[in-house]
Amino acid sequence: METLTINAEKCTSCRACELTCSFTKEGVFAPSLSRIRVVRFMNRGLSVPTVCVNCARPACVEVCPTEAAYIDRSVPVVRIDEEKCIGCGECVKACPFGAADFNEEKGVAYMCDLCDGNPACVSNCIYGALTFKPRYTVAEQKRRAAAEAYALSEHVR
């Protein structure tokens, strides 16, 4: 099972991801309709992309009163069935990551659906702030980085 992994260190706030997403999902250029959003800290020169992290037991699914939010096991990813969604906004409130948002015009909630397993934003992120990898590789990479810090330290033979 792959997941969108974010390396905020590499994000420069070009927002190509926001443009790619809104175009791919909605056919227009509109960061306000993008599933992925960059949050900027202007007094620190820091840009942090934020997006649905694909929880195994998502809060959005748990709180949905009509079962509009559900896990599609084929990808797997959380989806919103727009027919069932009544636009109550409970999922938006429940998500700890701010990844569920509300489309005012349509009256339904939305979040990232990984473009059915081939997320469009990733290839447009030139400097690698976004990657799409199997979940286990995230822990693997972190282990390796921690071990490397030790391996490179001076007192080790």
Partner 1 sequence: MVRELGKQKILNVDLSSGQTSVQEVPTDELKGLLGGRGLAAKILYERLKPGTDPLGPENILIFAPGTFSGTNAPSSGRTTVTCKGPATGFYLKVSGGGHVGAELKYAGYDYIVISGKAEEPVYLWIHNGEIEIRDAGHLWGKGTRETDRLIKNELGDENIQTALIGPAGENKVLFSCIILSLYNSASRGGVGAVMGSKNLKAIAVRGTGALRAADGKGFFKLASDIRKEMATDTSANTMHQWGTAGFIPGLNALGMLPTCNFSKTTIEGGERLSGQYLEDEGFLVGRESCFACSIACHRYVRTKEHRYGEVNDSGPELETMMSLGAECGITDTEAVLKANQLCNDYGIDTISTGHVMAWAMETYEKGLITEKEAEGLDLRFGNASAMVELVRRMALREGWLGDLLAEGTKRAAERIGGDAWMWAIQAKGLEQSACDTRGAKGYALGFALNPRGPDHLTTEAIAEFGFTEEAKALIKHITGDEKYAVSTITDKRPEIVVWHEDCYAASDALGFCAFTSTASYNVNPERMAKLFGYATGIEISEQELMLAGRRIMTLERCFNVREGYRREHDTLPWRMMNDPIPDGINKGLVTDKEMLDKMLDEYFKLTGWDPTTGIPTREELERLGLLKLCGDAASA
Query: Whose Cβ is closer to partner 1: residue 46's or residue 146's?
Result: 46
- The amino acid at residue 23 is F
Q: Which of 141, 145, 63 has its CA nearest to residue 109?
A: 63
Structure tokens at 92: 């938006």
Instruction: Say if CB 52 and CB 78 are below 8 A apart.
Output: yes
Cβ closer to partner 1: 14 or 55? 14
CB closer to partner 1, 41 vs 150: 41
Minimum CB separation of residue 34 from partner 1 in Å reads 10
Nearest distance from residue 112's CB to partner 1, in Å? 18
Residue 153 CB coordination number (10 Å): 8
Residues that bind partner 1 (CB under 8 A): 12-16, 19-20, 22-23, 26-33, 42-47, 123-124, 126-127
**Residue whose structure tokens are 């391996």:** 151
